[in-house]
Amino acid sequence: MKKKTEQDIIDLYRKRFQEVNVKVEVLPPSGSYREYIRLISPHFKAIGTWNEDVKENNAFIEFSKHFRMKGIKVPEIYEYKPLECIYLQEDLGNETLFGFLSAEREKGGFSDKIKAVYRKVVRELPKIQITAGIDLDYNFCYPRKAFDRQSMMWDLNYFKYYFLKLAKIPFNEQLLEDDFTTFTDFLLKAENHFFMFRDFQSRNIMLFHDEPWFIDYQGGRQGALQYDLASLLYDAKADIPEQVREELMEDYLDELEKIHHVNRMEFRQYFYGYVLIRMMQAMGAYGFRGFYEKKEHFLKSIPFALENLEIVLRKVNLPVELPELIKVLNSLPDSAVLKQIASKTTLLTIDVTSFSFKKGYPTDNSGNGGGFVFDCRSVRNPGKYDQYKSLTGKDEAVIRFFEEDDDMEEFLKPVFAIVERSVQKYTERGFTHLSVSFGCTGGQHRSVYSAERLGQYLKNKFPVRVVIHHREQDI
C-alpha cells in the first residue's frame, strides 16, 4: 500500500473515531488485489481497505449495509471515500473458519466441535440467499447481475485456457465447447433468482464472538442456491469428509425448507452440476495465479481439488451427456504435469511453540534440528499485574494489553520478517519442517501471544501446515 494511501486511511480513522494515537498493522495479502491494514487506538479498532476497483467497492459497501439491516452478521462500514478508493470496516479479528478448522483438526480430526461450527454456517446460508436477498438492489452487482449464461461460459473458459491449456491437458476444442453449451443449458434450468454469495468458502467466514460472520461477498449476484453450498462443502483445502458433507447438506435443506419449498431429489441433481462448475472455476483460478502469474503456492491447492473431483465424478449422475468434458475431468489425476505439483504431504509444516525458560528449551520432535528461538522477556510483562495473573496470551484482556502498547509490535515486526524469509526459502527448496519457539519467564503471556500471532500470520499468508503448541499451558 502506498504511503499516501495509508496516511489517508489513518486520517479517515482519526476523524471518524476522534483518536490521535493510532497504531497500524499491515495485514497479509489475500488472493485479491485489495490491501488491508488494521488500525488500533486506545478505544477503537478497525480494518482499513484500499481497492482501486470502485465498482467492486460500491458492491461491497451496499451489500454490507443491506445485510446488516437484515440481521446478517457482516462487518459494519464506518466510513467510505469512493474517490480515494478507501473505506473503514469493522474489525472481526483474525480467526477464519479455515484457521479454526486447521487448528482443531490437529487435535482430533474433523471433530464434533468443527461440525458444530459448520452447522451454524449452513443454517445461516438460506437466510443470506433468500431472506436477505429478496429486496437487494442487484444493480450494484459487479461484474454481472446474475450468474447467467455469460458468467458460466466465462468460468468454463477460464478453466479451459488457464488450467487445461497451461497444464497441457489434451482435449478436442469443438467437442468441449459443445459440452460447455449443454452443461450451461442444464444448470440454467435450476431456480436461480436467489442471492449467490459467489465465494462462500472457509477463508471468507470469520469466527467472531464464537459466531460465524461473513466477508468478501462483493462478487455476489443472482443465482442458484446450490452454488454457495457447493463452494462451502467442496472447498478444496478444507477437505471435509464425505460423510460430513452429506450431514451438512441435510442440515442446510432442513433450514431451507423453513423458508422455501424444495424438492430434495431435484436439488441434489443440480447440486453436483454446480459442484463441478465451481471446481472448474477454482481450478481456473489456481492455474491463472499459479501457472500464469507464477505464484507457486496457488498450485498447492490443486491436489486437494483433484481428490474432491474424483469423489464427485464417482457420485455425479447428470441427466445430460457431456462426453468430452467428463473425459477431460477424468484424465486430470493422470496428468504428468499435475503429478509433478507438490501434493499435500509435501506442505511445509511449521511448529510454533511457546514455553518457559525456567523449564528449559522445547524438544525438537522433527529430527531436523535448527529453527528459531525468540526471547520475549524484553517485552513488558502483563503477568506483573494482578488482573492478568490468571490469564494467558490467548485471553482478550491480555491481547488488548499488548495491542495498546508498541512494545510487543516492535518485537514481533523483525521476527515476522526473519521467519517469513525462511518460510519462502524452505517452500522453494521443498523442505518439510521448520520450528519457531517463543520463550518468556512463565510461558503464559508474552510467549503465548507471540506464538498465536505468528501462527495466524503464517496461516493467512502461506500454503503451509501450522501447528501451535503452548507447552506450559497444554500440560
Task: Kindly state whether residue 130 falls inside one of the protein's structural domains.
Answer: yes
Please name which of 379, 377, 368, 455 lies closest in space to residue 416, comparing C-alpha atoms.
Answer: 455
Mean pLDDT (the chain, rounded): 92
Task: Kindly state whether residue 475 falls inside one of the protein's structural domains.
Answer: no
Q: What does residue 373 show for φ and ψ, rounded to 5 degrees?
A: -130, 120
3-state helix, strand, coil in the chain (%, to 5): 55, 15, 30
| Spatial contact of 141 and 221, defined as CB atoms under 8 Å apart | yes
**pLDDT tier, 31 (very low <50, low <70, confident <90, very high otherwise):** low
424 in the same domain as 335: no
What pLDDT sits at residue 366?
66
240 in the same domain as 376: no
361 in the same domain as 335: no
Residue finishing a domain among 282, 306, 339: 339
Q: Which helix (H) or strand (E) holds 240?
A: none
What pLDDT sits at residue 346?
63
- The letter for the amino acid at 29 is P
Mean local confidence (pLDDT), 7-34:
90
Task: Kindly state whether residue 126 falls inside one of the protein's structural domains.
Answer: yes
Q: What percent of the chain has pLDDT over 90?
A: 74
378 in the same domain as 331: no
Task: Report which of residues 400 and 277 the model is more confident about.
Answer: 277
**pLDDT tier, 258 (very low <50, low <70, confident <90, very high otherwise):** very high
19 to each of 43, 137, 152, how far by Cα in Å?
A: 8, 35, 47
363 in the same domain as 327: no
What pLDDT sits at residue 384?
93
Residue finishing a domain among 297, 316, 339: 339
Low-confidence winner among 2-16, 77-91, 205-219, 296-310 (lowest mean pLDDT) = 296-310
What pLDDT sits at residue 293?
83
The string of pLDDT tens digits covering residues 327-375 is 999 999 888 888 777 454 467 889 999 999 999 988 776 666 779 999 9
74 to each of 33, 63, 144, 204, 378, how far by Cα in Å?
A: 21, 9, 22, 11, 38
pLDDT for 110 beyond 90: no
Low-confidence winner among 40-44, 104-108, 161-165 (lowest mean pLDDT) = 104-108
| Spatial contact of 175 and 164, defined as CB atoms under 8 Å apart | no
Task: Kindly state whether residue 75 falls inside one of the protein's structural domains.
Answer: yes
Q: What does residue 352 show for φ and ψ, rounded to 5 degrees?
A: -115, 120
> Could you tell me the pTM of the whole model?
0.76
The whole domain housing 415 covers: 347-470
Mean local confidence (pLDDT), 443-459:
93
| Spatial contact of 21 and 39, defined as CB atoms under 8 Å apart | no
Q: Kindly report the number of other CB atoms within 10 A of residue 119's CB atom.
A: 15
Name the grid cell of 39. Answer: 488500525
Low-confidence winner among 117-121, 376-380, 428-432 (lowest mean pLDDT) = 428-432
Mean local confidence (pLDDT), 27-47:
88
Q: What is the CATH number of the domain that holds 21?
A: 3.30.200
What pLDDT sits at residue 475?
59
Residue finishing a domain among 339, 358, 375: 339
Q: Which helix (H) or strand (E) holds 257?
A: helix 242-257
113 in the same domain as 72: no
265 to each of 193, 253, 269, 456, how far by Cα in Å?
A: 19, 11, 6, 41
Please name which of 74, 71, 42 lies closest in space to residue 59, comparing C-alpha atoms.
Answer: 74
pLDDT for 438 beyond 60: yes
139 in the same domain as 73: no
- At 49, is the secondary structure helix, strand, or coil? strand
Measured distance CA(1)–CA(102) in Å, rounded: 29
454 in the same domain as 305: no
Q: What percent of the chain has pLDDT over 70?
A: 96
The string of pLDDT tens digits covering residues 116-144 is 999 999 999 999 999 998 899 999 999 99
The string of pLDDT tens digits covering residues 206-239 is 999 999 999 999 999 999 999 999 999 999 888 8
Task: Kindly state whether residue 131 falls inside one of the protein's structural domains.
Answer: yes
Spatial neighbors of 148 by CB under 8 A, at least 6 apart, are 188
In this structure, the strands spanning 35-40 and 23-26 are antiparallel
What pLDDT sits at residue 367?
64
Q: What does residue 18 show for φ and ψ, rounded to 5 degrees?
A: 55, 45
Instruction: Give the chain's domain count.
Output: 3
| Spatial contact of 274 and 224, defined as CB atoms under 8 Å apart | yes
Task: Kindly state whether residue 37 falls inside one of the protein's structural domains.
Answer: yes
Low-confidence winner among 322-331, 420-429, 436-445 (lowest mean pLDDT) = 420-429
What pLDDT sits at residue 206?
97
Mean local confidence (pLDDT), 15-21:
95
CA dihedral 270, 271, 276, 280 (to 10 degrees): 110
- Omega of the bond leading into 362 within 30 degrees of 0 (cis): no
**pLDDT tier, 294 (very low <50, low <70, confident <90, very high otherwise):** confident
Mean local confidence (pLDDT), 249-277:
96
332 in the same domain as 354: no
In this structure, the strands spanning 349-356 and 86-89 are unpaired
Q: What is the CATH number of the domain that holds 132?
A: 3.90.1200.10
Strand partners, 184: none
Measure CA 368 to chain center. Answer: 30
Q: Kindly report the number of other CB atoms within 10 A of residue 414's CB atom.
A: 10
What pLDDT sits at residue 28?
77
What pLDDT sits at residue 284?
95
356 in the same domain as 308: no
Sign of CA dihedral 154, 238, 49, 211: positive
DSSP-H helix ranges across 264-369: 264-287, 302-315, 323-331, 336-339
Measured distance CA(160)–CA(176) in Å, rounded: 9
Spatial neighbors of 286 by CB under 8 A, at least 6 apart, are 163, 298, 299, 301, 302, 305
Strand partners, 39: 24, 46
375 in the same domain as 319: no
Measured distance CA(168)–CA(156) in Å, rounded: 16
Q: Which helix (H) or strand (E) holds 83?
A: none
77 in the same domain as 171: no
Measured distance CA(54)–CA(83) in Å, rounded: 8
